[in-house]
Structure 1
Amino acid sequence: MDTNSDSSYTTTKPADLCIIDDALKDAKCNEVTRGFFRTVTEANRVRKIEAIIKGFNQIMTASRGEVLCMVTTATKPDQKVLDQIKTILGGFVRKDQKVVMDVKVNPGLIGGMVVEVGDRYCDMSVATKIRRLSESLNAAV
């Protein structure tokens, strides 16, 4: 039996499937969604559902020509700043692709921002600049 290196593989009880199916019916999920969860449950991969859904979302995003751009700022930017960032990020993707921004706030950055576009990463935060300057000064002493 192939367990996909999941050492905790056990057989799913029919009662488990009924509980999950009833919960999904109560949540008014369609048959495709219920079938998906039944399949995942039968394969005993419920603990991996978050990774499965994340992978599916990545595939769907790519198929729509969207490029996810993660933008982390020290404070919440207003809409004008977000529009400017989106315009600039549009220069890093192909013309047939659409920038989709996921904006997060991390006060630990102090100022500036961190941007991730695909496999590109740019840390323009004040915290990183301070850390690098401090490391540089400590190395010189």
Structure 2
Amino acid sequence: MALMAQRLRSSLPHLHGLLRSGCLSTQGSTLQRIVPGPSVTNSEFSRNYASASAPKETKVKVPVVLFGGSGNYASALYISAVKANALDKVESELLALVEASKGSPTFSQFIKDLSVPTKTRVKAIEEICAHAKFADVTKNFLLILAQNGRLKYMESIAKRLLELTMAHKGEVKAIVTTVIPLPPEEEKELKETLQDIIGHGKKVKLEQKIDPSILGGLMVEFGQKVFDMSIKTRARQMERFLRDPINFDNL
């Protein structure tokens, strides 16, 4: 653990490299199936967590109702972050830690392995938060996950938190899938088109995905709609058209 503390740095940009270094070691760890512990209700978690990180008198409502364990945790974190006026910082810190953990098999195994003593998990999180200078809200939240053996749900919680922060900011996510990255001018044009569709008051947040299997063209997932203009889909449509019998009476 001392070695881990020596390698940690005081800023987020270095976190990815630090976790990649594999300085965290698990005790008697094996990659095994992890059975989730008892569920935590939204009211229980909100009460315990909010009391440790934010004033009780401030009332905050979540912009989107989320369900499930990860949704409950994300909602409680959102409320506490808003109360502390630290939503952007908490979001960026949690997402940074999630991305950094993906580059470290050792750390990824560490947060999943329930054979690691609770004290060891808590100590590791305390040192990471201290050296990365995480906000108190982020630190308290991660410590609760460590204590409850739920660090393995960190990524799913971060995704649900992102849903809440986007709704809070009035952002609408649009995913565009292409064979190669869109040129900047085409990306800008697509974003402006989608912005015209949703109108004022909300902002389009465009995410690009690369998928060679669509062969060409593009697919846009926007809200509950999917605009499929890929060559793969067009080819399938043409194939079905050619299979249908031709009615010469209509020619």
Per the TM superposition, whether the score is higher than 0.5 is yes
Give the structure-1-normalised TM-score: 0.83
Q: Distance in 1 between matches of 2:152 and 2:239?
A: 42
Percent identity reads 25
1:116 corresponds to 2:221: yes
Distance 1:44 1:132 in 2: 49
Distance 1:118 1:42 in 2: 36
Give per-residue Cα distances to partners, 1:100-135, cap 9 Å, x unaligned: 100122222111111011111111100111133334
2:198 match: 93
Q: Over residues 55-75 of structure 1, what are the superposed CA-to-partner deviations in whole Å (9 max), with x where a residue is unaligned?
A: 111101111111111111122
In 2, the alpha carbon distance for the partners of 1:132 and 1:43 equals 51
CA positional deviation for 1:14 = 1.8
User: Residue 45 of structure 1 aligns with which residue?
Assistant: 150
Residue in structure 1 matched with residue 99 of structure 2 by the alignment = none
Q: What are the equivalent positions in structure 2 for 1:1-141 lying under 5 Å apart?
A: 3-4=38-39, 13-137=118-242
Q: In 1, distance between residues paired with 2:173 and 2:144?
A: 29
Cα distance in structure 1, aligned partners of 2:120 and 2:203:
45
Contact (CA 8 Å) 2:217, 2:229: kept in 1 or not? yes
Unaligned runs of 5+ in 2: 1-36, 41-68, 70-113, 246-251
State the alpha-carbon separation in 2 of the partners of residues 50 and 138 from structure 1. 46
- Mark the runs of 5 or more structure 1 residues left unpaired by the alignment: none
Distance in 2, matches of 1:91 and 1:21, equals 46
Partner Cα separation in structure 1 for residue 197 and residue 147 of structure 2:
43
Q: Which segment drifts farther, 20-29 or 34-43?
A: 20-29
| Whole-Å separation in 1 of the counterparts to 2:241 and 2:151 | 48
Q: Distance in 2 between matches of 1:25 and 1:134?
A: 60
Amino acid at match of 1:63: H
* 1:25-76: CA deviation from partner (whole Å, max 9, x where unpaired): 2333232221111011222221211111111111011111111111111222
Cα contact 2:215–2:231 (8 A) shared by 1: yes
SS at match of 1:71: strand
Letter in 1 for 2:203: K
In structure 2, C-alpha distance between the alignment counterparts of 1:27 and 1:139, rounded to whole Å: 63
Q: What is the total number of aligned residue pairs between the two structures?
A: 137
